[in-house]
Structure 1
Amino acid sequence: MRIGIDLRYLSHNLVGGIHTYLENLIPAMLSVGKEHTFVLYADQKADFEIAALPENAILRVLPYKNALSSIGNDYGIRNWMREDGVDVVHFPANFGFGPAGAPKVITLHDEINIMPLWEIYRGHQKTLRTLAMMTYLHFNTIASLKDCDRVITVSEYSKRQILKYSKLSPERIIPIPHAPPAGVKKVEDAQQIEAVKEKYHIHQEFILADALKNPGVLIRAWKLLPSDLKQDKVIIFFSRRPDIWNVVNEAIAEGIARFVLRPSREELNSLYSSCLAFVYPSWIEGFGLHLLEAMTCGAPIIASDRGAIPEVLGEAGFLVDAEDERKLADYLIELLSNPQERERLRTLGFERVKMYNWNAIAARVLSVYRELV
């Protein structure tokens, strides 16, 4: 097959879940699909992030002068694909417009772009820029789905949500999960862990949590713990964004929490590997990549039972309603006071995460292409 993939996401200096998906999936696909030719489309906004491409990959760099170039390329990329004679096209960042006659695959990571506009606006900041961007993504995603042959999404939960907000038939939506990002691994070196803890002034045992994922319920649960159990322990919140919830800042001021901004991959590995528990009480998740990271590094997990979290975590952690601080406190007491239970969940996590492998995921994506050609 001659496969065209829109990878402009990897030439825009972006971060986030889609970026992580692509930087791991594409190398795996190039390796697993050596018998195929991949035509990869980037643009001139920034250097393409995959530096060393194998012989079965061709890089096409579209012109870029300003933000309007992205819009032009959204609609013009189909002409490049037509000239390159691709057999199938894949748009892995929620929408795209391919050439007539070539089967089209879209990875729709969640339902947000296809929800009613008023629901999308409700959950975001309402600046002119964000309103314009959300509106643009909404209408282009809906238009893209009309002639899409297959939609790949990240979980059975996301499939159900996409069906709820679209007219797609169930057989056109294929759930294919993520896997742990490259570089995620358990840290065994005690000196490496201590260096990270010293850098961030962590001198106590700690539980780890994402500062953006419903931190309030964790803080409320923490305050319910017996004083002797939480003595000499602290919550470590991390985030890649500085604009965290006020409740986290209040917990920091009270001395029950600390905040780590933009830890590196190696630092986050050390934090996962040395925490007493990773707590992830997210209100909603289309997948939950942090769960795979935590299981890989051996962190016992307490997570909410919402979204795709139960299907990702399985029996490898404790599940609790995202607003039930009393049950969360019970699970914290269990893990903080019981080393054997922490070890049990670590072992279950190590086994569970073996299910998620980028080469196997790449093979499944390639099988979707083959069905269409």
Structure 2
Amino acid sequence: MPVPATSGTHGRRVQPCSRIGVGVGIAFGTGAGFAIGVRTGAWAGLDFWAGFDLCAGFGLCAGFGICAGFGLCAGFGICAGIGKAFYIPWQFADIKTGIEVVVGGRLENPEPGREYPKSAMRVFINAAAAVAGGGVTYLQHLISSLPPLSPKDFFIFAVPEGFVPACSLTGSPAGSTAIPATASAVGSAADTNIKAALELPASCGNVRIFPVSESGKGLIDRFVWENTTMLDLCEREAVDLLFCPANIVPMRNPKIPLVVMLQNIAPFYPRVRRMLAHFEGKAAAMRQLLLEFLSVTAVRKSDLVLFLSEASRGVVERREGHLRAEVIPHGRSIQFHPANKLPDEAPHGPFFLFVSNLYVYKGLEILVDALALAPELPPVAIIGHPFNSGYFAWIQKKIEEKCLGKRISFHKAVPNSELPGWYSNAIALVFPSWCESFGMTPLEAMACGCPVVALRVGPVPEVCGDAAWYAEAPTGHSLMAAMQKAAEHGNDRHYRLRAVKRAGRFSWEDTMRKHLQAFQGVLAD
């Protein structure tokens, strides 16, 4: 049943217009330096900009309509939502000048021949950072659930370029559907392909999708895009609310209500930064420090902060004080259900399962210590990609030193469609992570009838309840004791049914309904 829209009409309509202006800038220095300049235009009177020139011969052309922020544009660039921008540089020893001409406009219907319905609420969702793990799952459900749930509202998604769901929401492979990579593909082609992959009806007319190439190029490129082109898109599309579900919001004021979701709680754990410095080097620690700064800034700038668990909310509020915040947990994907087929790569006989990309806070060292303390425990199959290579090398060395090579197996690439078979046939999922915002893999495991062994920390007790055996301390001895209980009772029908029942409390429909209510509440203020 659709969620009713709030009273009144939030959508603003912009009359078609065209703009012509000339900007002149002077940059000092052949390597790197600051650039200042002035631009005039019939539409804006006198406007000032300041930017950062990264190298000789390159100019600034990213956002603010003409040139502002910092970015790269050698000779030719695109100012999204404005038109085409030409930057013509001249190099004179240590002084560079240039002329930029911008022609274009902001239109209510930027795609010729395509009409967009009037809507009660227009929401821009910046999901361009969803490139791996739970963020991709969340994005799939945002796109497939929000538009049908509230057909009177309009949703605009920025997604990673090349975003292709690994499987449809029914668990069947999505095929080779791909998002076109060129800028000209933005709009109907991207909409059609993603709708097909997510089994969203093509007739669903209240959703629009923008592939973003900058999403996979690093934090700096993402920062530039979010503070230039993305805000231009928000203005061009006349949106009422900007939702950033990946910790970071624009530093520039978007001039519309702003909602952020903290999906990554690691920036608020100093121990994560210390471990990154130790295993991955100072550069990794500095990137984490930057992410911490940006996450704190997002919390302070946003009109509403969404958390995935009460535990995550507590971590942030202990640092930042009371926030205007809501807790909206993730849902359970219907593709995860008890399955009898044992994957060919799975160990024969009883086994524990660990499913997660391998980061420094996932507690793998605790699991290794637990196995070494109890030779009678069944082997462990680990599914996940090692994102922190230095940490992973240390884990491999520990495994070798403790002679556990035959009791721990690594499986990097397992399609989502095969995961239910792994979960359903494991004694239990072992989840020794000590830094989580939610706990998606425990929820997936329980939905497949697989109990959980976990540390009693963070949000895991909120998710798993009585469907888990808990280690009371983050030590090998404590985890070993919990795994021994699971080895004894993990295959009992009672415990496996209890896991399925617990997972039944979570649904994506309920999650998305709460999203809509949160958005409407912000706009109603």
The amino acid of 1:209's aligned partner reads F
For residues 260 and 60 of structure 1, the distance between their equivalents in structure 2, rounded to whole angstroms, comes to: 33
* 8 Å contact from structure 2 (residues 268, 315) kept in 1: no
After superposing the two structures, state which structure 1 stretch, 343-352 or 275-284, moved more: 275-284
For residues 141 and 254 of structure 1, the distance between their equivalents in structure 2, rounded to whole angstroms, comes to: 39
Q: Which residue of structure 1 lines up, in the alignment, with residue 287 of structure 2?
A: 133
* Alpha-carbon RMSD: 3.0
Q: Is 2:443 aligned against 1:313?
A: no
Q: What SS does structure 2 have at the residue aligned with 1:152?
A: strand
Q: CA deviation at 1:146?
A: 2.9
Deviations 1:190-217 (A, max 9, x none): xx31xx2x335x2222121247432333
Q: Which residue of structure 2 lines up, in the alignment, with residue 280 of structure 1?
A: 431
For residues 333 and 402 of structure 2, the distance between their equivalents in structure 1, rounded to whole angstroms, comes to: 30
Distance verdict in 2 for CA 1:45–1:270, change over 3 Å: closer
Distance verdict in 2 for CA 1:111–1:165, change over 3 Å: farther
Q: CA deviation at 1:62?
A: 5.8
Q: Which residue of structure 2 lines up, in the alignment, with residue 36 of structure 1?
A: 153
Q: Is 2:243 aligned against 1:123?
A: no
After superposing the two structures, state which structure 1 stretch, 313-322 or 91-100, moved more: 91-100
For residues 249 and 114 of structure 1, the distance between their equivalents in structure 2, rounded to whole angstroms, comes to: 33
Of residues 283, 294, 311 in structure 2, which corresponds to 1:157?
311
Deviations 1:294-340 (A, max 9, x none): 1011112221101111111111121112434444444433333347x
Q: Which residue of structure 2 lines up, in the alignment, with residue 80 of structure 1?
A: 233
Q: Which has the larger radius of gyration?
A: 2
Of residues 327, 346, 357 in structure 1, which corresponds to 2:507?
357
Distance verdict in 2 for CA 1:338–1:151, change over 3 Å: closer
* 8 Å contact from structure 1 (residues 215, 248) kept in 2: no
* 8 Å contact from structure 2 (residues 337, 449) kept in 1: no
Name stretches of at least 5 consecutive residues in structure 2 with no aligned partner: 1-120, 164-178, 180-189, 196-201
Q: Which residue of structure 1 lines up, in the alignment, with residue 124 of structure 2?
A: 4
Runs of 4+ in 1 over 6 A off after TM superposition: none
For residues 351 and 296 of structure 2, the distance between their equivalents in structure 1, rounded to whole angstroms, comes to: 44
Deviations 1:72-101 (A, max 9, x none): 211012222122111111011111127644
Deviations 1:250-280 (A, max 9, x none): 5675522222222221332211110122222
* 8 Å contact from structure 1 (residues 186, 296) kept in 2: yes
For residues 254 and 474 of structure 2, the distance between their equivalents in structure 1, rounded to whole angstroms, comes to: 48
For residues 328 and 113 of structure 1, the distance between their equivalents in structure 2, rounded to whole angstroms, comes to: 25
Q: Which residue of structure 1 lines up, in the alignment, with residue 363 of structure 2?
A: 214
Q: What SS does structure 2 have at the residue aligned with 1:59?
A: strand
For residues 368 and 90 of structure 1, the distance between their equivalents in structure 2, rounded to whole angstroms, comes to: 11
Q: Which residue of structure 2 lines up, in the alignment, with residue 104 of structure 1?
A: 258
Q: Which residue of structure 2 lines up, in the alignment, with residue 239 of structure 1?
A: 384
For residues 224 and 147 of structure 2, the distance between their equivalents in structure 1, rounded to whole angstroms, comes to: 28
Higher RCO structure, 1 or 2 (CA under 8 Å, sep 6+)? 1
Distance verdict in 2 for CA 1:134–1:267, change over 3 Å: same
For residues 454 and 504 of structure 2, the distance between their equivalents in structure 1, rounded to whole angstroms, comes to: 19
Distance verdict in 2 for CA 1:5–1:226, change over 3 Å: closer
Instruction: Summarize the alignment of residues 120-199 of structure 1 with structure 2, pairs less than 5 Å apart.
Output: 121-125=273-277, 127=281, 130-131=284-285, 133-167=287-321, 169-170=322-323, 172-181=324-333, 183-188=335-340, 192-193=341-342, 196=343, 198-199=344-345
Deviations 1:104-143 (A, max 9, x none): 100112443356xx76631324557535533443333333
For residues 278 and 43 of structure 1, the distance between their equivalents in structure 2, rounded to whole angstroms, comes to: 30
* 8 Å contact from structure 1 (residues 180, 296) kept in 2: yes
Q: Which residue of structure 1 lines up, in the alignment, with residue 194 of structure 2?
A: 51
Q: What SS does structure 2 have at the residue aligned with 1:122?
A: helix
Q: What SS does structure 2 have at the residue aligned with 1:109?
A: coil
Instruction: Summarize the alignment of residues 288-367 of structure 1 with structure 2, pairs less than 5 Å apart.
Output: 288-338=439-489, 342-367=492-517
The amino acid of 1:25's aligned partner reads L
For residues 432 and 213 of structure 2, the distance between their equivalents in structure 1, rounded to whole angstroms, comes to: 43
For residues 246 and 414 of structure 2, the distance between their equivalents in structure 1, rounded to whole angstroms, comes to: 25
TM-score w.r.t. length of structure 2? 0.61
Distance verdict in 2 for CA 1:111–1:222, change over 3 Å: closer
Structure in which a larger fraction of residues adopt helix: 1
Deviations 1:17-62 (A, max 9, x none): 3222222233211221222111223475763697126311123456
Name stretches of at least 5 consecutive residues in structure 1 with no aligned partner: none
After superposing the two structures, state which structure 1 stretch, 79-88 or 237-246, moved more: 237-246
* 8 Å contact from structure 1 (residues 34, 56) kept in 2: yes
Q: Percent identity?
A: 21
Q: What SS does structure 2 have at the residue aligned with 1:26?
A: helix
Distance verdict in 2 for CA 1:256–1:56, change over 3 Å: same
* 8 Å contact from structure 1 (residues 104, 149) kept in 2: yes
